Amino acid sequence: MELATIFRLLVSKIWILIIIPIVAAVGAYLFSLTADKKYRSTSLLTTGFTTNEKVQIADERIDLWVAGVKFDNMIERMNSELVMSMLTYHLMVHDLTSEVPFRRLKKEEDPLASKSKEEIKAIVEVFEQKIAKMEMLSSFDPKENELLELIKKYKYAGWQLKKTLSINRARSTDFVEVNFVSENPLLSAFIVNTLSEQYIRYDSSLKTDISDESVKFFSELVNEKKKILDEKTLFLDKFKSSNNLLGGDFLELKSTQIVDYELLRQEKLDEIRSKKLSIADVTDQINSLSATATTGTSSSETNTAILQIRSKINDLNQIYINGGSKDQELLKTITNLRAQLQLEMNKLAESGTDTELPKVSKESLLAKKRQLELELEITQTNLASLEQTLMNLKSSVSGSASKKSTTEALERDVKTASDEYLQALEKYNTEKNKSLLSKSAITITQRGQPNPSPESSKTVLIIGLAFMGSLAMCTFVIIVIEFADQRIKNPAKFETYADLNLIGWINTITINNLDLKSLFSGKTGDESQEKFKHFLRKIRFEVENSGAKVLMVTSTKKGEGKTFMILSLAYSLSLLNKRSLIIDTNFRNNSLTKLLIAKPNFQKMLQEDNDIKLLTSPLSKNEEPVSNGGNIISRTSDKNIDIIGSSSGSESPSEILAGRNFNAMIEHLRNTYDYIFLEGASLNEFSDTKELMSFADKVISVFAADSVLKAIDHESINYFKSLNGVFMGAILNKVESKDVVQ
């Protein structure tokens, strides 16, 4: 919708836009005069949500987002039903016990008027008990439900008080403002102060309960962790005791013992080898004595050398054994001495002397051999015992490694249990310390005071809002109604909705007793009639310039005004001395025949088609209509306008004109008349217009501005668009001047 259209629409409704806002403003003024005076009181609470002024148990940082959430939570809790109920009960106790109550009920409305002092006292006690226990009245209890109804009568119910109660954070500060407006300044102050006190009481109770639960929880947690730690510690001690692991250097001690026993074992092995060599040497000596006794004596020098070499071999061999049998140089020397000994023994055998060796008895050598064998056996026994001990030590060390890993795992469990116990203990101590400070941190910084001055009535503002609000509402409703109005209404909307060529439009006028002759004879003084003549002349101009002589005037539906349009155009053309013939071919509704009081002669050609003059002989200008027989053309009151009337019926034009040369009649009449107008029945309902289309030069469709185009109308409109030049255009009828942007 264009702005100009909206402007004209609003101008057309100017009286509505003036009267309704004025009435609303007057009503607002009268309301402000009769409105009760209201008194405001404000209390201010400090929350501590954005400051660290309180005692700090732990290092707490301020998070502004979290602080904002806390403010929202606080405001919601202050508005909660429980806190509001506490305020309500205080108000009831005050009004039932005070000599100057805030509100008094009329005697006929007061349910307490018939109650005794004892009954009223019992009611007060119920309220006080609820306040002390911080409990709410139950609507399911009949007695308590009566008290709730009493509260409603006093208008102290939470939902009633909230109408003038506001709780808000004071901008970005740490404060919360509580405001209340009532008819009594003392009542307003009492409400804001009592509500603040009851919220602090509720908040302290809530924090105490939470703190007690936390302390209890962490106390139980500490006991549980202590029990787990004791069990794990006891199990570790038992494990160490049963496995001889109480000493911290057990494995180090065992490892040192193994090294010592390994050294002893090596010494025993060396000693065994030494004993075996000594036994072998004694055996050789015994064998030598036996050989000497057989072969005789040898030289004394050879014997002496042999004894010396043997003695040296024995000494070096003992040294070699004691050194761990690892000295290769010493072993090489012993080997050379043995080779030398063998040479000396060979010499002794070759000499054949009977020089005797130093006399060593065989019995002493045998005794020495037995002694050495006994010592060897003892040493071997000691070695076996030593190896068994060594094996036990190694097994013990191997088992101890596994036990040590188990011990370490148990010690880790004990360490974990100890850490958990210490953490739980620390949290317990923290919560216990907090419980000492569990009272609400919120305090009343400024108590509400009775305001001696009432609130500003804001009469001017109320009147202004009422006026502007009603004006805006009226404007909105008018525009919405206009948008919702689907009527064509004006040429602009017609072109949008129908998308047809518009050759003109005429405004609506009163057609009852309308005399076209007097209308066009001069100025009438009626603006709508003058506009009608102006717009009709524009349409006449379009008709003249079209070059068409036979014009079919039709519409998509009934009541669009095509009959009136044919009469108006015919008369307008007669003013130019143009002769027009109107043929009433609307056989469904012969309104032209009725309006012009013409005889229904059109159907005569069905019976008298042999007398072609009946169809083709137009009246001369001075010829009078024939009452019976003769010409079918009827004269009208205007000498330039004639009509062929018809009867109303259910036949279609094709059926009526079947076998008749209607086209020849039209061609003959063209020579006598300047314009011939045919009227077609509504296209949505009948096919008459389509059947008559071949007889017309141009087709004109009439639409009423107060009609709504429906789907069937658009089908007819599409038919008009398909006529390929035959369709001259549309005329918009019944247009309200106020709906047209000039």
Q: What is the CATH number of the domain that holds 558?
A: 3.40.50.300
pLDDT of residue 131: 93
Structural domain that includes position 537: 491-739
Greatest Cα pair distance, the chain, in angstroms, is 211
Strand order in the sheet with 502-507: 502-507, 727-735, 698-704, 550-554, 675-679, 580-583, 641-644, 634-635
Q: Which two tokens stand for residue 295?
A: 């072969």
Last-in-domain residue among 162, 193, 212: 212
Dist CA 287 CA 109 (whole Å): 151
Q: Does the residue 585 lie in any domain?
A: yes
Dist CA 735 CA 305 (whole Å): 167
Q: Are residues 31 and 169 in the same domain?
A: no
Last-in-domain residue among 177, 197, 212: 212
| Residue 723 · residue 699 · CB < 8 Å | yes
Q: Are residues 517 and 473 in the same domain?
A: no
Q: Are residues 466 and 510 in the same domain?
A: no
pLDDT of residue 355: 43
Q: Are residues 561 and 465 in the same domain?
A: no
Q: Are residues 73 and 88 in the same domain?
A: yes
Q: Are residues 589 and 628 in the same domain?
A: yes
pLDDT of residue 602: 72
Q: Under DSSP, is residue 445 helix (H, G, I), strand (E, B) or coil?
A: strand
DSSP state of 581: E
Q: Does the residue 330 lie in any domain?
A: no
DSSP state of 675: E
Mean pLDDT by 10 residues, the chain (742 residues): 71 86 88 79 88 54 76 91 93 92 86 87 93 91 91 92 92 90 92 93 81 73 82 78 58 67 78 81 77 54 73 75 68 76 70 48 77 81 80 66 72 84 79 61 88 79 88 89 80 86 88 72 77 91 93 92 91 92 89 84 56 46 47 85 86 81 85 92 90 92 91 92 91 85 56
Q: Are residues 30 and 57 in the same domain?
A: no
Q: Does the residue 50 lie in any domain?
A: yes
Q: Are residues 535 and 658 in the same domain?
A: yes
pLDDT of residue 521: 74
Dist CA 72 CA 422 (whole Å): 37
Give the N- to C-terminal CA distance of the chain in Å, as an integer: 15
Q: Which two tokens stand for residue 596?
A: 């012009």
Per DSSP, the residues of 388-440 read HHHHHHHHHHHHHHHHHHHHHHHHHHHHHHHHHHHHHHHHHHHHHHHHTT-S-
Tell me how many domains the chain contains: 3
Q: Are residues 151 and 48 in the same domain?
A: yes
Q: Does the residue 361 lie in any domain?
A: no
Q: Does the residue 48 lie in any domain?
A: yes
Rg (CA), the chain: 68
Q: Are residues 648 and 676 in the same domain?
A: yes
Q: Under DSSP, is residue 548 helix (H, G, I), strand (E, B) or coil?
A: coil
Q: Does the residue 62 lie in any domain?
A: yes
Q: Does the residue 373 lie in any domain?
A: no
**Buried b / exposed e across 161-176, counting CB within 10 Å, b at 16+?**
beeebebebeeeebbb
Q: Which two tokens stand for residue 278?
A: 């000594």
Last-in-domain residue among 161, 177, 212: 212
Q: Does the residue 278 lie in any domain?
A: no
Q: Are residues 720 and 631 in the same domain?
A: yes
Q: Are residues 505 and 463 in the same domain?
A: no
